[in-house]
Amino acid sequence: MKTTRNFGDEIELGAIADESGRITIIESSLHAGFKIERVYFLHSLKSDAQRGGHAHLELCQLMVAINGSFTLTLTNGGQTKVIKMGNPSVGIFVPPLTWRSLHGFSPGATCLVLASAEYDESDYIRSRLEFEAISAKSLQPGQ
Ligand code: TYD
């Protein structure tokens, strides 16, 4: 599935409500823009935790604050977006070659992550210097 999502796009997930509560649904085609192959969530986070601090070579992700709030900072080499996460009805699209940092967790903050592939450590870029070099190369005309 070729995604039409862009860096940091807010994807409206919506919610179906009745008097008892709300349900939010995430589907590959309708919301993620990629086939969801893995689901994980960050939880039990300390308020001063710093998560992320890496990018991926090929992985696409959709991130949702399903409880509480935190700050998500995305950088793609040319642009930085600082996103206040706290709405469980909105997902943020994180494409490949995006450096992400998550911090400022409220009590009970939980970040759901939907990913386009199973875990593969070789897809990670964990060095900021390496990320900047790869991003600069990918931004060059003809790449
Ligand atoms: P990492 O992706 O670095 O976490 P974060 O971005 O939240 O700081 O993963 C933390 C650890 O968990 C690392 O040792 C890799 C491992 N891990 C898996 O084994 N499988 C997975 O699907 C994920 C996301 C992480």
What DSSP element (H or E) covers 133?
Answer: helix 128-139
Binned at pLDDT 50, 70 and 90, residue 143 comes out as low
How many beta carbons lie within 10 A of that of residue 102, not counting itself? Answer: 22
> Ligand 1 centroid to 11 CA: how many Å?
24
Give the pLDDT of residue 60: 98
The model's pTM: 0.95
Q: Please, how many CA atoms are within 13 Å of residue 26, restricted to the half-sphere of its CB?
A: 25
* pLDDT beyond 80 at 140: no
Give the pLDDT of residue 110: 98
Mean pLDDT of the chain: 95
Give the pLDDT of residue 4: 80
Q: Is 1 exposed, middle or buried (0-12, 13-18, 19+ CB in 10 A)?
A: exposed
Q: What is the mean pLDDT of residues 55-72?
A: 98
Among 36, 39, 40, residue to substitute to test ligand 1 (most atoms within 8 Å of Cβ): 40
Binned at pLDDT 50, 70 and 90, residue 2 comes out as low
Q: What is the mean pLDDT of residues 6-11?
A: 95
| Nearest to 77, CA basis, from 95, 102, 64, 90 | 95
* pLDDT beyond 70 at 14: yes
